């Protein structure tokens, strides 16, 4: 166990001591430490006149020199540390006035302020050793300064720049002095620079017949520090005249030395400009790009104010070898299968006339990445044959790999259903069933399921799946514009089987301007385009179905029901949308309209149309299909009630809490303001202590009484009682009588 060592304590300063106990495993391996300061009592100092310590371990130094041993006792023992008080140390000296001027034979009184480690700043003018460094900047300047207790009075001797110095306790500081300065001129004239770029100003001082560059020996100022700041003020010895541009605008730049002021130059800060452009690659190795692959570049513009912007789509991209790798306007570099291997192209980007770094792309031979079998999952009647081929997917495209001796190797997992030639890829059916047809080529494998049917297809029947009826019904299959309708193709085979063949037929529409039905990911799904009728058919081989007529209608309006609806927070309500046509209506649920709620802070709605109440207020529930949405009273109005009171928590006044680690305890004769807090369905709480509709009751008035309408409790005798707070429906948010209680014990 040890106390943290705070080091030396300056006079007048205090430090908080912390005790840590180390924990070891097997007596040697350190496993952790724990702060046990709160477990310690009896903090003492053996020399409190030098360093005292409080009961909480706060050590305070009262003298500049001396030591004291600080000790603490308690679990798990006693621990001590030796502390040393010390004098504060001088850190630096400020010599003023800063960068002043005086005439030859003129005088200037200087002042020296010391800055100490304890934060004090005494006047050291009469304690420092004053000095002069003449001929600063080869200007020929000379001056003298009085030493001693009344020192610091400088006298100009020869025109030029000197440095007045002050030394104390090994610390030296200084300030420039312009002797004989008669005029001050700054340049350049009214410069204009982009935001973020620096601007160096120079100051030329006139000393009689001579002009000198005294940029670092004068004070600089900026009239608008939000636009630009400038080095050189306040300090006695520092470089100056370098303006940092911070924001667009103007600022007047000036310089001065003592009573000599310069002319004013207006610095105009213009918008930041692009200083460089950096391009980079993501998920692509430029040293080896297989032929046919592409690489995405990004371009980052770096501005004069060190801000950056992604300009990938705004930059002008170029390749020095476009026949090897061309780059488009989005920074996507594509390689070509026709180029010799290898080849190299250097990619660059230009933005605002600033060219980027160059990245070299080296194109290497194309690479086979995978193979697939075509056709995929075919079905043939028993007695027929199926030709299979392998497609090789290379980095520069997809190519059919010829069957033969150097082609893929074929196999069938169930040759009793269908056999296949090992090099020809021609499969002959044997019996109804399924088998897996596989192929291997160049270390890659692929497979597909081959189904063999026992019968021949005689006809196909096309039927709409679960069509949504019109109201009034007219027997037609009708969908709205932008709606969809699934059709099923049923194959009628010679063995009187009728399988669903929707996924293997070819679907057609008689008028693709009215309805389309060619989505490969959703076989048999027709989409309404414009109002009209279209015949939907399905074909397999030489067999084509009879048409199924699909009517596409224009929605005149949409209504949402029920409306209006009132919910409590957290409640839900499913809504339905109805399409209104000329002379008929239709439920839109099956057509997946887009649902929305406004505002979502009151209620949200999912895409099944179920709304969830969030907070008190009114929300509009809207349904939209395609470009048509409900409007005005056609949309549903959902009102969310105030949150419902669910329970009441009874507690003592937090400003005069009850005591006791378990059941609260009050002393005989004590009074207490009891608190009733309502807990609501939306997670909020409310003080109901003196609300209308809330009443207070003590179950044992011999122990304590309570004012029924205020909750003010007075202890009457020893014993226990239960304090109850009961809310009727008059309480805010109460829908029934709600009660809360707290058991108390009255003791001496």
Q: How confident is the model at residue 103 (pLDDT cuts 50, 70, 90)?
A: very high
E-strand stretches of 87-201? 90-96, 100-102, 107-109, 111-116, 129-136, 142-145, 153-158, 160-168, 171-179, 183-187, 192-194, 198-200
* Residue with more model confidence, 85 or 648: 648
Query: What is the Cα 267 distance to its own chain's centre?
Result: 38
* Token pair 């707070």: residue: 725
CATH architecture of 645-746: Sandwich (2.60)
254: tokens are 């000036």
For residue 687, what pLDDT is reported? 94
CATH architecture of 181-270: Sandwich (2.60)
Q: Where are the domains of the chain?
A: 8-86, 90-179, 181-270, 274-364, 368-453, 457-552, 557-640, 645-746
For residue 33, what pLDDT is reported? 40
Q: Are 3 and 79 in contact (CB under 8 A)?
A: yes
Q: How confident is the model at residue 736 (pLDDT cuts 50, 70, 90)?
A: very high
* Integer Cα distance of 316 and 327 in angstroms: 10
Q: How confident is the model at residue 63 (pLDDT cuts 50, 70, 90)?
A: confident
* Integer Cα distance of 86 and 11 in angstroms: 6
3-state secondary structure of 591: helix
Q: Are 400 and 409 in contact (CB under 8 A)?
A: no
Q: How confident is the model at residue 20 (pLDDT cuts 50, 70, 90)?
A: very low
* Integer Cα distance of 228 and 250 in angstroms: 8
The DSSP letter of residue 432 is: S
* Integer Cα distance of 328 and 320 in angstroms: 13
How many helices and strands (H and E) does the chain possess? Answer: 0, 80
Q: How many CA atoms lie within 13 A of 118 on its CB side?
A: 17
CATH dotted code for 557-640: 2.60.40.1080
Q: What is the mean pLDDT of residues 190-196?
A: 97
pLDDT exceeds 50 at position 29:
no
User: pLDDT over 70 for what percent of the chain?
Assistant: 92
Give the residue from 454, 450, 439 showing the smallest Cα distance to 402: 439
Peptide bond into 564 cis (omega under 30): yes
β-bridge partners, 116:
90
- How far CA 3 is from CA of 10, 47, 58, in Å, comes to 19, 18, 12
* Integer Cα distance of 282 and 372 in angstroms: 28
- How far CA 371 is from CA of 379, 404, 439, 690, in Å, comes to 21, 16, 9, 79
CATH dotted code for 8-86: 2.60.40.1080
pLDDT exceeds 80 at position 611:
yes
Q: Give every CB contact of residue 38 below 8 A, 6+ residues apart in sequence.
A: none
**CATH 3.40.50.410 holds for 90-179:** no
Q: Give every CB contact of residue 362 below 8 A, 6+ residues apart in sequence.
A: 286, 287, 288, 289, 342, 343, 344
Q: Are 243 and 275 in contact (CB under 8 A)?
A: no
* Residue with more model confidence, 140 or 84: 140
* Integer Cα distance of 595 and 636 in angstroms: 11
Rounded to the nearest 5 degrees, what angle is found at the Cα of 686, between the Cα atoms of 684 and 691? 150
* Token pair 């304890």: residue: 118
Q: Which long-range contacts (CB under 8 A, 24 or more apart) does 231-239 make?
A: 232/99, 233/98, 233/99, 234/98, 235/98, 236/94, 236/95, 236/96, 236/98, 236/99, 236/173, 236/174, 236/175, 236/176, 237/163, 237/173, 237/174, 237/175, 237/176, 239/215
Across 8-17, 416-425, 618-627, 728-737, least confident range: 8-17
pLDDT digits (tens, 9 = 90+) for 282-297: 888 998 888 878 899 9
Q: What is the mean pLDDT of residues 621-646?
A: 94
For residue 27, what pLDDT is reported? 36
Sign of CA dihedral 324, 327, 328, 330: positive
Residue 82, number of CB atoms within 10 A of its CB: 11
* Integer Cα distance of 308 and 317 in angstroms: 18
* Strands 100-102 and 171-179, sheet pairing: parallel
Give the residue from 550, 547, 519, 522 showing the smallest Cα distance to 461: 547
* Integer Cα distance of 108 and 155 in angstroms: 7
Q: What is the mean pLDDT of residues 46-74?
A: 85
* Integer Cα distance of 391 and 389 in angstroms: 7
Q: How confident is the model at residue 234 (pLDDT cuts 50, 70, 90)?
A: low
pLDDT exceeds 80 at position 546:
yes
Q: Are 61 and 11 in contact (CB under 8 A)?
A: yes
For residue 382, what pLDDT is reported? 84
Mean pLDDT of the chain: 90
Residue 727, number of CB atoms within 10 A of its CB: 25
CATH architecture of 368-453: Sandwich (2.60)
* Token pair 């802070």: residue: 601
pLDDT exceeds 50 at position 531:
yes
* Integer Cα distance of 704 and 725 in angstroms: 15
Give the residue from 410, 411, 372 showing the smallest Cα distance to 390: 372
485 Rama class: left (phi>0) / alpha (psi -120 to 50) / beta: beta
Give the residue from 413, 401, 478, 479 showing the smallest Cα distance to 442: 401
For residue 32, what pLDDT is reported? 37
pLDDT exceeds 80 at position 306:
yes
Q: What is the mean pLDDT of residues 361-382?
A: 91
For residue 741, what pLDDT is reported? 95
Q: Are 223 and 214 in contact (CB under 8 A)?
A: no
* Integer Cα distance of 511 and 530 in angstroms: 10
* Integer Cα distance of 157 and 40 in angstroms: 69
What is the number of residues in the chain? 748
User: CATH classification of 274-364, choosing from 2.60.40.1080, 3.10.20.600, 1.10.630.10, 3.30.1950.10?
Assistant: 2.60.40.1080
Give the residue from 44, 68, 69 showing the smallest Cα distance to 55: 44
- How far CA 12 is from CA of 60, 120, 124, in Å, comes to 7, 11, 21
CATH architecture of 457-552: Sandwich (2.60)
Q: Are 250 and 269 in contact (CB under 8 A)?
A: yes
- End-to-end Cα separation, the chain, in angstroms: 42
pLDDT exceeds 80 at position 675:
yes
Q: Do domains 274-364 and 557-640 have the same CATH topology?
A: yes
* Integer Cα distance of 672 and 690 in angstroms: 14
């Amino acid at each position: 166990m040890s106390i943290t060592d705070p080091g030396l304590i300056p006079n007048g300063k205090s430090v908080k001591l912390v005790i840590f106990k180390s924990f070891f495993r097997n007596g040697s391996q350190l496993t952790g430490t724990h702060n046990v300061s709160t477990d310690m009592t009896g903090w003492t100092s053996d020399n409190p006149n030098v360093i005292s310590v409080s009961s909480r371990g706060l050590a305070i130094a009262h003298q500049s020199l001396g030591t004291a041993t600080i000790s603490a006792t308690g679990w798990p023992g006693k621990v001590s540390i030796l502390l040393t008080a010390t004098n504060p140390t001088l850190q630096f000296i400020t010599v003023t006035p800063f960068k002043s001027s005086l005439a030859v034979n003129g005088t200037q009184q200087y002042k020296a302020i010391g800055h100490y480690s304890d934060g004090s700043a005494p006047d050291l003018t009469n304690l420092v050793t004053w000095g002069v460094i003449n001929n600063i900047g080869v200007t020929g300047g000379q001056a003298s300064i009085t030493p001693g207790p009344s020192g610091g009075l400088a006298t100009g001797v020869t025109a030029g720049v000197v440095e007045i110095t002050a030394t104390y306790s090994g610390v030296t500081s200084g300030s420039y002095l312009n002797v004989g300065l008669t005029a001050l001129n700054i340049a350049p004239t009214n410069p204009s620079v982009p935001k973020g770029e620096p601007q160096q100003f120079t100051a030329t001082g006139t000393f009689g017949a001579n002009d000198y560059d005294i940029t670092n020996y004068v004070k600089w100022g900026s009239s608008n520090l939000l636009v630009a700041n400038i080095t050189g003020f306040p300090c006695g010895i520092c470089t100056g005249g370098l303006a940092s541009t911070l924001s667009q605008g103007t600022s007047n730049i000036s310089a001065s030395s003592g009573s000599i002021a310069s002319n004013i130059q207006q610095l105009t800060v213009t918008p930041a400009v692009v200083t460089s452009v950096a391009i980079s690659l993501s998920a692509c190795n430029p040293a080896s790009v297989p032929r046919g692959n592409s690489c995405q570049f990004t371009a980052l513009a770096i501005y004069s104010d060190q801000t950056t912007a992604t300009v990938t789509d705004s930059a002008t991209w170029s390749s020095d070898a476009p026949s090897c790798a061309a780059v488009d306007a989005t920074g996507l570099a594509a390689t070509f299968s026709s180029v010799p291997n290898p080849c190299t192209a250097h990619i660059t980007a230009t933005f605002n006339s600033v060219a980027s770094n160059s990245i070299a792309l080296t194109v290497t031979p194309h690479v086979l990445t995978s193979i697939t079998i075509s056709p995929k999952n075919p079905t043939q009647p028993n007695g027929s044959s199926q030709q299979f081929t392998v497609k090789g997917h290379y980095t520069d495209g997809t190519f059919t790999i010829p069957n033969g001796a150097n082609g893929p190797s074929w196999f069938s997992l169930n040759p009793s259903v269908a056999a296949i030639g090992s090099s020809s890829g021609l499969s002959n059916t044997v019996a109804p069933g399924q088998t897996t047809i596989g192929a291997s080529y160049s270390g890659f494998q692929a497979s597909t399921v081959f189904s063999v049917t026992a019968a021949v297809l005689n006809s196909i029947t096309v039927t709409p799946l679960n069509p949504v009826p019109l109201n009034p019904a007219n027997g037609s299959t009708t969908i709205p514009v932008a709606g969809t309708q699934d059709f099923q193709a049923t194959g009628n085979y010679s063995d009187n089987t009728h399988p669903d063949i929707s996924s293997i037929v070819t679907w057609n529409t008689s008028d693709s301007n009215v309805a389309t039905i060619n989505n490969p990911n959703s076989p048999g799904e027709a989409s309404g385009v414009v109002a009209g009728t279209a015949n939907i058919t399905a074909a397999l081989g030489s067999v084509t179905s009879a048409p199924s007529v699909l009517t596409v209608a224009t929605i005149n309006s949409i209504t949402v029901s029920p409306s209006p609806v009132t919910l409590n927070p957290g409640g839900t309500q499913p809504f339905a949308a109805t399409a209104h046509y000329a002379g008929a209506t239709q439920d839109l649920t099956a057509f997946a309209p887009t649902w929305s709620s406004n505002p979502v802070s009151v209620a949200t709605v999912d895409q099944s149309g179920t709304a969830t109440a969030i907070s008190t207020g009114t929300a509009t529930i809207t349904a939209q299909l395609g470009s048509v949405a409900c409007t005005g009273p056609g949309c549903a109005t959902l009102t969310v009630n105030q949150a419902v009171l669910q329970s009441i928590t009874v507690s003592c006044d937090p400003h005069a809490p009850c005591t006791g680690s378990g059941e609260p305890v009050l002393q005989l004769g004590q009074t207490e303001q009891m608190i009733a807090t309502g807990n609501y369905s939306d997670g909020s709480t409310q003080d109901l202590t003196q609300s209308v509709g809330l009443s207070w009751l003590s179950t044992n008035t011999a122990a304590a009484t309570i004012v029924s309408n205020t909750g003010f409790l007075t202890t009457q005798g020893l014993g226990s009682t239960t304090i109850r707070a009961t809310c009727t429906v008059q309480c805010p948010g109460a829908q029934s009588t709600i009660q809360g209680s707290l058991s108390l014990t009255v003791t001496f």
